[in-house]
Amino acid sequence: MDISKEIRILLAQEDLKVSDLARLMDTSHQNITNILNKNNPTISKVEEMANALGYKMNITFEKVAE
């Protein structure tokens, strides 16, 4: 799962740009870009971005068939 891609999809669905998300989170455009470009942003940071966009983040685990 590419979580950064998912955040970018949410931005597109809301017709927002990274700069809009930065404003909603009271941070810089560069900070959000750095987070989205990381291979593995923290779950708490992703949840913060989702919440700023008006979404609730859910993580589910499913047992893999053996």
> What pLDDT sits at residue 34?
94
Write down the pLDDT at residue 38: 82
Amino acid sitting at position 8: R
In tens digits, what is the pLDDT along the chain, a chain of 66 residues? 688 899 999 999 999 999 999 999 999 999 999 999 987 788 999 999 999 999 999 989 999 988
Per-residue pLDDT at 1: 65
CA distances from 15 to 31, 45, 50 (A): 20, 21, 14
- pTM comes to 0.84
